[in-house]
Amino acid sequence: MSDSELVVAYDLLEAGYELFWMPAIGLIFVALGILEIRYAKFFSQFISGSWSVRACRIFGWITLCFAVAWTTLTFTATFGPYHILRSDYLAKNYKIAEGSLIKLAASKSSQKTYRNYSVADQRISFSADSTVTGWGPDFILRNMDAGSHVRIAFKNQSIFRIEVERAALTALQAR
């Protein structure tokens, strides 16, 4: 099949860093912690009981410390793997499988579910638990008709790019 008959359904570089929202949640609480520290006297007015300005300030520091830790850890845990995948993709450090898509039964390890596919006698398996919702590789491959012609760039359990027949993509978009 010629390249002109295949269209890109998923590309890691076009998708970008999709999990930005996880550390962004922490930034909201960073701002809240700073406000609690800066305006502790104001916040202490709305708290009934024996809360003092000092207690509001302490609570603000606890909020701030937790939020900074959350933001740092989630950014490191999500951006690090994305950066490694992006580097491998740009360095063309991956395999390409092209042919008819064959869906295999999902498999389970002790804690993860793996989606399994075969394309041109190459088995492609990736964790269904860690995929992003929306138009990610999991959605595309699960909803493709078996036997559709695809070209998949992958490494280990990561998919970098999926190209499909134009007709198959049109059918996929209608779902």
Q: Provide mean pLDDT across the span 117-138.
A: 70
Tokens 């960073």 correspond to 30
pLDDT of residue 15: 85
Give the separation between CA 6 and CA 4, rounded to whole angstroms.
6
**29 contacts 69 by C-beta, under 8 angstroms:** no
Mean pLDDT along residues 28-46: 89
What's the rounded mean pLDDT across residues 63-69? 97
To the nearest whole number, what is the mean pLDDT of the chain? Answer: 83
Q: 102 pLDDT exceeds 90?
A: no
Looking at the predicted structure, is the pLDDT value of residue 125 above 60? yes
Residue 129 has pLDDT above 80, yes or no: no
Task: Look up the pTM and report it.
Answer: 0.72
- Report the pLDDT value the prediction gives residue 81, as an integer from 0 to 100: 86
Res 5 pLDDT > 80: yes
pLDDT of residue 134: 47
